Amino acid sequence: MMTEMLEPTAQSDPPTDTVLEVTGLDVDIRTPQGTVRVVSQVSFAARRGQTLALLGESGCGKSMTAKAIAGLLDPVASVAGGTAVLDGQDLNQMNPKQRRAVAGPGLGIVFQDALTALNPVYTIGTQLGEAFRIHRGASKKQAKAEAIDLMRRVGIPEPETRVNSYPHQFSGGMRQRILIAMAVALSPQLLIADEPTTALDVTVQAQIMLLLRKLRTEQQMAVVLITHDLAVVAEEADEVCVMYAGNVVEQGSVDKVFSHPTHPYTKGLLESVPTDAQRGEGLSSIPGSPPELTKIPAGCVYQDRCPLASAICRQERPLLRDTADGQRAACHFAEKVSAAKTDNDDANNVKEEIR
């Protein structure tokens, strides 16, 4: 992967391959205590045939970002600014009808919990075929045939029989396959996978990730993968956006970010991964917890937990800036972070360790 990145051909034409370009996205939530900004100035680009990971703890705004792009925000949340350009059109400027036209053929989304995401009272065939009925005006019979075809593509055994089954008659892994099948039904350019494996056990997780990778390659989709799992990012993603308290704190290619983190949060995350060298010692962790979104401090969002925090961090919020080739971080002391070696292990090896 590293060598590919360095090849000039691979780097010369990424702009034409950009499927989704998010710029300065802000999302607000209205609460009884007032409006809270839960996603702030998020920018990234997802490219055809590649996976971009949004990485962060629960509540960091990664899911909210995905929902904002997909137009599925809850009524209390709304996009407050920025653009999300899919195939030349700004999703944030679309009216509901245009949105519906894009939902399916333009972008598909895979939800986290497949049991609650599937409608319990309709058969899998009905739900899988629905996209074809909505967007292609397919007859019931055609829709069912398409559903069977989809089930076969995502590896559900005996699709001809199972097409008439209901969601509760499937296992968790199978349900997730069905959700994925629904998301890719109309061959969207962009697939958003919102923690697709969190609700599954480990062996099934691997199968699901394999399936996503296979479909990404087959259909040449851009994938936005939302996860809190460092191992999944290391394994699956080409690029990563590390999010903290609604802000992107570091982004860049996974290889670079994971081998040379330039933000203290990324570094802290990577150091908290257990490694062989630490055997017998306690696990390292980042002290403290993320700020409440109603009480995000002025200055750097990470100041309360950062070992490098100083006066400037409390006054001025660091902007994302280039910290290395193809890598950006929002830290006043990015150079210091990348220069420092970790105590117990070589940071270069962290990525390998995760794998």
Partner 1 sequence: MLTYLRKRIISSGLPLLVVIVGVFALARMTGNPAALYLPLNATEAMREDFAVRNGLDQPIWVQMAQYFGGILRLDFGESMRTGESAGAMALRAFPATLQLAGTTMALAIVLAVIVGSAAALKPNGILDRFSSFLSMTAASIPDFWLAIVGIWVFAITLGWVPTSGVVGMAAWVLPVATLVMRPFGTLVQVVRGAMVSSLSEPYIKLARAKGATQYRVVGAHALRNAAAPGLTVAGDLTVGLVNGAVVVETIFGWPGIGKLMIDSILQRDFAVLQACVLLTAVAIFVLNILIDIGYALLDPRVRPSAGARKRRKARVEHRGQQNGPKAPTTPTTTGSAATAVLDA
Residues of this chain that interact with partner 1 (CB under 8 A) are: 70-72, 96, 99-105, 108-109, 111, 113, 116-123, 130-131, 134-135, 148, 158-166, 168-169, 179, 182-183, 185
Collapsing DSSP to helix, strand or coil, 267 comes out as helix
Least distance from partner 1 to the Cβ atom of residue 42, Å: 20
Q: Please, which residues bridge with residue 240 across strands?
A: 53, 252
- Whether 240 and 254 have beta carbons less than 8 Å apart is answered as yes
State the minimum distance, in angstroms, from the CB of residue 111 to partner 1.
6
- Nearer of residues 159 and 196 to partner 1, judged by Cβ: 159
Q: Which is nearer to partner 1, 178 or 237 (CB)?
A: 178
Q: Which is nearer to partner 1, 105 or 291 (CB)?
A: 105
Q: How far is the CB of 351 from partner 1 (least distance, A)?
A: 33
- Which CA distances in Å does 140 have to 120, 123, 134, 161, 183? 19, 13, 11, 16, 19
B/e letters for 253-290, b = 16+ CB within 10 Å, e = fewer, are: bbbbbbbbbbbbbbbbbbbebebeeeeeeeebebeeeb
Residue 185 CB, nearest approach to partner 1 (Å):
8
DSSP one-letter code for 13: S
CB of 70 to partner 1, least distance (A): 6
Report residue 148 as tokens.
């069977």
- Beta carbon nearer to partner 1, 111 or 302: 111
Q: Which is nearer to partner 1, 92 or 266 (CB)?
A: 92
Nearer to partner 1 (CB atom), residue 131 or residue 334: 131
Give least dist CB 130 to partner 1, A: 6
CA atoms within a 13 Å half-sphere pointing along the CA-CB vector of 221: 28
Task: Supply the minimum distance, in Å, between the C-beta of residue 152 and partner 1.
Answer: 9
Residue 147 · residue 124 · CB < 8 Å: yes
Sequence-separated (6 or more) residues with CB below 8 Å from residue 254: 1, 53, 233, 234, 237, 238, 239, 240, 351
Which CB sits closer to partner 1, 110 or 313?
110
Contact (Cβ atoms closer than 8 angstroms) between residue 175 and residue 162: no
Say how far apart CA 186 and CA 135 lie, in whole Å.
9
